[in-house]
């Protein structure tokens, strides 16, 4: 399986302030895309922050290691951070909604320290906290996307997020237009090889 153009180019070389989304049904499609996104950044001396489920974080870490990256050294030097999405989400959710002040504090901690060290050219972030929210709390997911857009502008990062269309046994689920509108690009299901 390979990611097809033009989506491959976007994943490999996003512009600063790009906020793109991958909609997927198959985990392998997501892992390939996130591994490509992270590997390309690491190869260009960019920092990568992965805010993923434990399973996805581990799968991407294993993929990077198979591609020849020394993951432990990258983590040690702060070029690669892999964080549990559920744990990070719990740090800023209040009454089922993202709290703006808490969110910005968490993000300053995650991204600010990388940026202030000035060791890496740019910062790329992969996040799937919105995917954890949208099945049960679509308005909270939309609000979190809006908050991310503020962070993207402030920190000049690129953000890759993902939504599983199979979530909670709803194989006919579609990606809502208002969520699509909060992104610069939307990689459709057919944007990835089978």
As for how many domains the chain has, the answer is 1
Tens of pLDDT, residue by residue over 21-39, are: 998 888 998 999 999 999 9
pLDDT at 48 over 80: yes
Contact (Cβ atoms closer than 8 angstroms) between residue 25 and residue 173: no
- Characterize 138-172 residue by residue with b for buried, 16 or more Cβ atoms within 10 angstroms of its Cβ, and e for exposed: eebbbbbbebbbebbeebebbbbbbbbeeeeeeee
| 136-164 average pLDDT score | 93
The C-alpha R_g of the chain, in whole angstroms, comes to 16
| 114-132 average pLDDT score | 88
β-pairing verdict for 97-98 and 158-164: unpaired
Distance between terminal CA atoms of the chain? Answer: 6
Question: Which structure tokens are listed for 111?
Answer: 């991204």
Please state, rounded to an integer, the average pLDDT across all residues of the chain. 88
> Does residue 97 sit within a domain?
yes
Domain span at residue 156 reads 7-191
Question: Which structure tokens are listed for 118?
Answer: 């000035």
Task: Give the three-class secondary structure for 45.
Answer: coil
pTM metric for this prediction:
0.89
> Does residue 99 sit within a domain?
yes
State residue 66's pLDDT score. Answer: 97
> Does residue 2 sit within a domain?
no
- Which CATH number goes with the domain that contains 148? 3.40.50.300
Tens of pLDDT, residue by residue over 68-121, are: 999 999 999 999 999 999 999 999 999 999 999 999 999 888 888 887 777 887
């Amino acid at each position: 399986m390979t990611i097809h153009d033009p989506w491959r180019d976007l994943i490999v070389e996003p512009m600063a302030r790009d906020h793109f989304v991958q909609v997927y049904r198959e985990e392998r499609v997501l892992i390939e895309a996130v591994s490509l996104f992270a590997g390309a950044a690491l190869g260009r001396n960019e920092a990568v922050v992965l805010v993923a489920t434990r399973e996805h974080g581990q799968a991407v870490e294993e993929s990077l290691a198979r591609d020849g990256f020394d993951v432990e050294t990258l983590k040690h030097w702060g070029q690669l951070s892999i964080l549990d999405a559920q744990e990070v989400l719990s740090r800023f959710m209040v009454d089922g909604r993202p709290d703006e002040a808490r969110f910005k504090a968490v993000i300053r901690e995650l991204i600010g320290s990388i940026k202030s060290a000035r060791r890496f050219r740019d910062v790329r972030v992969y996040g799937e906290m919105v995917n954890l929210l949208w099945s049960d709390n679509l308005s909270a997911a939309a609000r979190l996307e809006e908050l991310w857009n503020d962070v993207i502008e402030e920190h000049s990062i690129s953000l890759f997020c993902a939504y599983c269309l199979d979530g909670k046994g709803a194989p006919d689920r579609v990606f809502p237009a208002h969520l699509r509108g909060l992104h610069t690009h939307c990689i459709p299901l057919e944007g990835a090889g089978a």
